[in-house]
Amino acid sequence: MEQLLQRLSTSKRVTWLMSQAVVLATACLYALVLALTMLPTDWAHYEGLFRFPDLEPFQMLGLCVVLALPVLLVRRLPAAVFAAVLGEAVLGDAFGARPLIVFVLLVGLGGYLAVRRPKAAAVGSVAAVAAAFLNDIHISGQNVGDAAQWAGQFALWFAVAWVFGGVYRKRREYREALQEQTAARVVMAERLRIARELHDSVAHSIGIITVLSGAAARVVQTKPEQTRQALCGIETTSRETLLELQRMLGALRRAEPDDAMPQAAPLAPAGSLADVPQLAERTAGAGVRVHVTWRGERRSLPPEIELSAFRIIQESVTNVVRHSGARTCRVAVGYEPEGVTIEVVDDGDDGRGGPGRPRHSAAGGSGFGLLGMRERVTLLSGQFSADRRPEGGFRVTARLPA
């Protein structure tokens, strides 16, 4: 229920209907008060103020409705509506009709105009104060001092309305700027997430393909069987990478599943701790044996934990393949009551790298792999560390709460 009310309060259609209702109510109230004020009366202090004795009550009501019609356009043409109501005040004074509701409406319109067009509101306020002064000085028994005092009070009300309108305008501008900043941060976070997914999914596969293609190029003439195995590994890895990219692009194209359009691939994120053995098999084809050990009672974890844990292991193993020159690495996954721990350790270059094995240093990489892993762990409020071991090699450890 609370979510429904929040959605209704922020809906553009509901906001538009509420604003239209306020405008319509203001126009009706203005017409009604005009009619009540300008109808003939026997009150002594109102004698001589109104010069419409020949109009019937229904004719007077129709005239008031016509005078109130410009108010309906205040959202589209606020300056024109202000000028129209000010003209009504001037013409009313010419005919001897001086209803106070006209000037009350002018104050409200001045505040609204200050939100939309501050300069026009300032000019209109000065003109309205001058009209009020002329209107009051024509009343019998009023002198210039009384008219100036009334105009000063009227100017004070206009100043208050202008200040409130300016404060609301600044508040709306700040809210719009805050929304733009929030939208920009959301876009940036989504770009970083996509960049991490692309890096983690593609970099691993490209690293293995690079190693296998290098090995195949070295033994293509001397060991055709190993060349065939390397090419089969390249084909399998390429197909898996293509399917993962198609899945990711499908999720980007359709934020919400559409029943009318067939889905080529599931939109759920791929990769979990259950895929670690398959990852180890693929990495073995690139010349690095991955020994996986499990500690604790294995259980299902939230999807974001499963995906992040798998990506951390995948990226760590990719770094071993591309940069360390080691022939083996150890992956340990520990299930704890309040989370899961990951440790990936290699012993560094043991001097027995196979054909096509790269011997790049870790500093030669782009650095996005470690950065992406650290960002994943930070977003999940976990702990991450990656550093060289004193005895040689590299260690990556992470703990994700679950």
> What string of DSSP letters covers 266-323?
--SPP--GGGHHHHHHHHHHTT-EEEEEEES------HHHHHHHHHHHHHHHHHIIII
Q: What is the pLDDT of residue 397?
A: 94
Give how far Cα 106 sits from Cα of 81, 112, 131, 134, Å.
Answer: 10, 10, 11, 15
- Extract the runs of DSSP E, i.e. beta strands, from 228-379: 289-295, 328-336, 339-346
Q: How is residue 299 written in tokens? A: 């259980």
Q: What are phi and psi of 326, to 5 degrees?
A: -75, 155
pLDDT band per the 50, 70, 90 thresholds, residue 295: very high
CA distance 11 to 5: 10
What pTM value is reported for the model?
0.48
Q: What is the pLDDT of residue 24?
A: 84
In tens, the pLDDT along 58-112 reads: 777 777 788 888 888 888 888 888 888 888 777 776 666 667 787 788 888 888 8
Question: DSSP 3-state assignment of 39?
Answer: coil
CA distance 111 to 130: 17
Least confident of 44-53, 134-143, 160-169, 355-364: 355-364
CA distance 6 to 389: 53
